[in-house]
Amino acid sequence: MHYTSAAPGDEGTGGRFTAVGPGVSGALLAEIEPLLRYELPDSVPDRPSAGELRSLPQPFTYATLSDGSRLVSRSAPVRETSGGAGPGVRFHAHAVHLPPGVPLPGDRLPVEAWRSPHWVAVTPGGAIPDPLTLPPGPTAVSEGLDDFAVSRGPWLAAVLADLRRASEPREPGGRPVVLVERQCADVARWLGLASVTLPRESAERLTFTTYTRRPGSSAARVVGVLPEDTEAARAGGLRVHVCAGQAPSGGGTDDVWATTAARVWRNRSPELFREARELPGEPFAAGPLAVTALCAGIVLGPDERAAAAGWAADRPYALDAKRTGQLVEALASPGIDDRTGPEFDAVGRLFGALEGRCPASVTAPLAAMLVTEAVRGGNGSLELPHRDAFVGPEGAVVAERLAPEILTELGEGAGPRSVARTVQLLRVARLLGVDGTESLPGVVDRLAPALLAEAAAEEESGKGAEGSPGFAPALLELLDEQFEVRTALLGALDRLAPRDPGAVARFLERVALPFTGTQALPHLRMCAEVPGAMATLGGDRAAVWHRVLRAAGLSPFAEPLVLRTAVGLVWEDRAPTVEEARLLLDAATSDAHRAAGTWARLVDAALGASGTGPSAASTDEAAALAHDLLRGFPGEIGGRERAALLLLDLVRELRTGAPEPGWAEAVRTLCAQADPIEPALRERAHTALVERLLAPDRPGAELYDFVHGDDAELIAAYDRTARTELVRTRLRTQPAYAADCFTVWTAHPHAGGTWPPVAASLLDEVLRPAVRAMSPEDVAEVEATVGRTGSSGRADAFRTWNRSSTLGRLGRRIAGRVRRG
């Protein structure tokens, strides 16, 4: 079919079909017409010269229509010869309609018809050759593609990546890829590159037009525009590649297939695309193309090499011996200096796949490369070769080169290393037959705490909150491979466990170390036992402790440190209760607790119990424990802890026994020495002291020390206790006790600044109400007792004090009667 723009003077018409072949309906013509319209660039002069006319864009279009048919067209600007006042340029579109399912002649791709000699720029008067029927051999679009690809090197990978995506099956209405070129012929060459690079079915889906002024409204998957329309395309949110200006500064794309394809084009080897498509794999998998390129001697980057190694590792059967050798040689080339971790991982998998399939001479370069990287590159995730990979002269050369480096890094002066790094070095040392016997003790002594620290750090950061730490698989392989390392490392961990048994137990929960052999390892066995014991016995910590201790297989008398491990596992950083501490104390001798350091936990239990539980019985149990601890560990307990335990023991004696004289001063002194003292312990000590001072049989000397000590807190405690109902009842019912209290509360009027006002207040507010409630006989007995135990002056003082009280009552009664009268 043929379509031409309107002639000058044809107002209201944009163009018309001048010839239409059979089988094309009016509806299809309406759909085709917008595809054939031509819009001149902005800079076209009204009357272009012949050269200017030839330089105008000639859009070449391939489109699919709604009924499944296809359209291939070429539009060409032509000079207007009819005269008139309008522009001097018209256009003529020559199009071929292909019914659904009908291929192009010769089963060619649409882009191959670009520059067909049979496209015409006028409506013919009769039959003309089909422009899609081309002579045998290469077409115009394939001429010079290598040179074009090299000239477009900076854009090549990014454009190929977008052309690949554009060729994927998709719903109608997708957005086009925009190629900005000064000549629409170069857009056609991009499509020629795509036709060679992409699989046939993908290239057939790639609809296009090499020139348009309106890329945003185009239904084609690829469109070409001139530089003047670049900003409009970008404003429309389209993928735009400006290939007609300064080269981009970035790498272009992270599409490994497209990057590999670009390298193939820059090496002028397009035949490799066909070879790669013969290998198994997905159409756009980077592996087959990367393998083909490496075997052809093309230099690739690390991502492409990793793709090649990974693909070959998954399909070791897909390559013959020659290609396998070429691939190994390319991957292990000594000239490569940009290898990455993923590349080494892929090469490791490839080595594992080829080992046993190929002679050792083929895989030896890969093995040498892997162990060299493991030593020099620090890649702890590498899959190492087996030991027999280095049998022969190749292994000896590698071992001789790497052994000094391994031993130096494993030495003490090399600084801190990660667990993965240490494990890797130990495995490589065995692999190469490096003798590290002398350095092994120091290595495992540094490795053991590093295991705990790294596992805890992973758990705290959330990286290893569930499952094993990242280094666990390699560590377990190391312990399985090397008996001497396993023995030494388990011994180091067992020695470490008493220092932090909780950390070791948590580590063993996440890493199942193999310590079921003949080694004793009492502490590790206890750490492994505690989770099951906790789950089975729950909150019965005494039962858990017994079970964990049995798991050690050693008596605390033979190995005191099992006490420390057991206590740390069961109570962690908490103090035992008094009952639990008593159990621990009785379970072993003081020498065993002294050697294990667990006596300090027993002290914590006694002092902790002194501050909890209001009952006197709990205080007495804690005091009894304190008494035994002071007797059992006289040289270990000192400072404030010793003072606090002595105070706790003194409280018990104040309540139940006969303390040594000077106990009033002792309470004050011990409270000061135990500072910072537990508030509850201080309160109990004060209470025990003042209760004893308010007892009927209190020693006078102790009271004198108490009063003249002028301790405000103690005197306040005395005041509170004297006002309790127990003391008030005793005052009302025991005249001798009332007499004694009168004597005490009036005997020291100048004893400091704290005692006198408190004593006066107690006389008026506590003793006076008690005396008022007595019978005259009891009051007389109080007076007599005061005189008998004191002096006649003291008795006179009581009578005066009591008379003032009586007169006060009498006066109040008279006043009351007067008011009533």
pLDDT in tens, 678-718: 888 888 889 888 999 898 888 888 888 888 888 899 999 99
* pLDDT for 283 beyond 60: yes
Q: Which of 64, 74, 123 has the alpha carbon at shortest distance from 98?
A: 64
Q: Looking at residue 651, what is its pLDDT?
A: 86
Q: Looking at residue 220, what is its pLDDT?
A: 93
Q: Looking at residue 172, what is its pLDDT?
A: 66
Confidence of residue 14 (pLDDT cuts 50, 70, 90): low
d(Cα 293, Cα 308) in Å, to the nearest integer?
A: 9
* pLDDT for 574 beyond 90: no
Scored b (16 or more CB within 10 A) or e, 667-704 reads: bbebbeebeebbeebbebbbbbbbbbbbeeebbeebbe
Q: Cβ–Cβ contacts within 10 Å for residue 154, how many? A: 16
DSSP 239: E
Per-residue pLDDT, averaged over 254-276, amounts to 95
Per-residue pLDDT, averaged over 628-652, amounts to 90
Confidence of residue 251 (pLDDT cuts 50, 70, 90): low
Report the percentage of the chain scoring pLDDT > 90: 49
The pTM assigned to this predicted structure is 0.66
Lowest average pLDDT, out of 71-85, 256-270, 552-566, goes to 71-85
Would strands 15-19 and 2-5 be described as parallel, antiparallel, or unpaired? antiparallel
Per-residue pLDDT, averaged over 446-475, amounts to 83
**Average model confidence (pLDDT) for the chain?**
87
Residue appearing with tokens 């599409």: 255
Which amino acid, 378? G
Sequence-ordered list of residues with C-beta below 8 angstroms from that of 333, at least 6 positions apart, any chain: none
| Cα–Cα distance list, 779 to 48, 142, 783, 790 (Å) | 141, 134, 6, 16
Answer with the residue of higher pLDDT: 377 or 53: 53
Scored b (16 or more CB within 10 A) or e, 594-617 reads: bbbebbbbbbbbbbbbbbeeeeee
Concatenated DSSP letters for 384-405?
A: PPPGGGG-SHHHHHHHHHHHHH
Per-residue pLDDT, averaged over 134-142, amounts to 77
Confidence of residue 414 (pLDDT cuts 50, 70, 90): low
Confidence of residue 461 (pLDDT cuts 50, 70, 90): confident
Identity of the highest mean pLDDT range in 14-18, 486-490, 619-623, 625-629: 486-490
Confidence of residue 384 (pLDDT cuts 50, 70, 90): confident
